[in-house]
Amino acid sequence: MNYLTISAPAEASFVEKKSEFIGYIAPVKNGDEAVEFINKIKSMHRKARHNVYAYIVRQDNISRYSDDGEPQGTAGVPVLDVLQKRGLTDVCIVVTRYFGGILLGGGGLVRAYSHAAALACDAAQLMDMRLCHRLRITADYGLYGKISYILPSFDTITENSDFGSEVTLEILVLSEKLAALTEELTEVTNGAAKIEDLGELYGDFSSVKKIF
């Protein structure tokens, strides 16, 4: 159920035997958004020899690729392979090639397109999307210390803090840790903290360094 994606578009490039390879990567939610991104890059590089692409989206479990005129299996498949090996989804990569006049050969093309795709992935900010619950915790100020002390041990992410007449925290907790956290909060506050489950969602836990 968990998945890896990226937070925003990114790009990177390199030159191999006078051919310039520019890797573009973007988050997409469906095939239509992927096609829109591909067409955007193509319109930016109308004079390029090739605009190779690959994408994977969770919606309808779709994966697509195109060699865009390169020899079959030397371009689109290597780009798709990079996405698959890195476990990325809801992501589209387009690799633009400006031909430098020197043929790279089949193996050279595979390495070049793989490298361009990998560079684009490296340039992007990863998001570790995990199934979680958003909780709203409301308590007296005297309980805030106890509550804030135990939250890190459950790998929670605090989204909002409101210090009004009472302390109100909105946090994300992994679904598999929800029951244990709720029980612990109830115990340390003797049931005085109000805990509201605002629903299940996917949250980005890439900032949580602890291994789950």
pLDDT digits (tens, 9 = 90+) for 4-29: 999 999 999 999 999 999 999 999 99
User: Residue 171 falls within a domain, yes or no?
Assistant: yes
**pLDDT (0 to 100) of residue 102:** 86
- The domain of 64 spans 3-124
- Which of 101, 124, 147 terminates a domain? The answer is 124
- For the cut 90, the answer to whether the pLDDT of residue 211 exceeds it is no
Question: Strand, coil or helix: what is 145?
Answer: helix
Q: How far apart are CA 45 and CA 52, in angstroms?
A: 12
Give percent of the chain above pLDDT 70. 98
pLDDT of residue 130: 96
| Average pLDDT across the chain, whole number | 95
Q: Do the domain assignments include residue 98?
A: yes
- Decide: 157 and 138 in contact? Cβ < 8 Å: no
Compute CA distances 174 → 124, 140, 160, whole Å: 24, 25, 17
**Domain check: are 57 and 89 in the same one?**
yes
We report the CATH number of the domain holding residue 80 as 3.30.230.30
Residue where a domain stops, chosen among 71, 97, 124: 124
Q: What pLDDT is recorded for position 208?
A: 83
Looking at residues 147-157, what average pLDDT do you find?
94
In this prediction, residues 133-149 reach a mean pLDDT of 95
What are the tens digits of pLDDT across the range 16-71? Answer: 999 999 999 999 999 999 999 999 999 999 999 999 999 999 999 999 999 999 99
Complete DSSP assignment for 95-108: EEEE--S---HHHH
Q: How far is the CA of 43 from the CAs of 39, 49, 96, in angstroms? A: 6, 13, 11
Residue pLDDT, tens place only, 81-91: 999 999 999 99
104, 124, 144: which is the final residue of a domain? 124
The percent of residues above 90 in pLDDT, for the chain, comes to 93
pTM (2 d.p.)? 0.86
Same domain, 74 and 117: yes
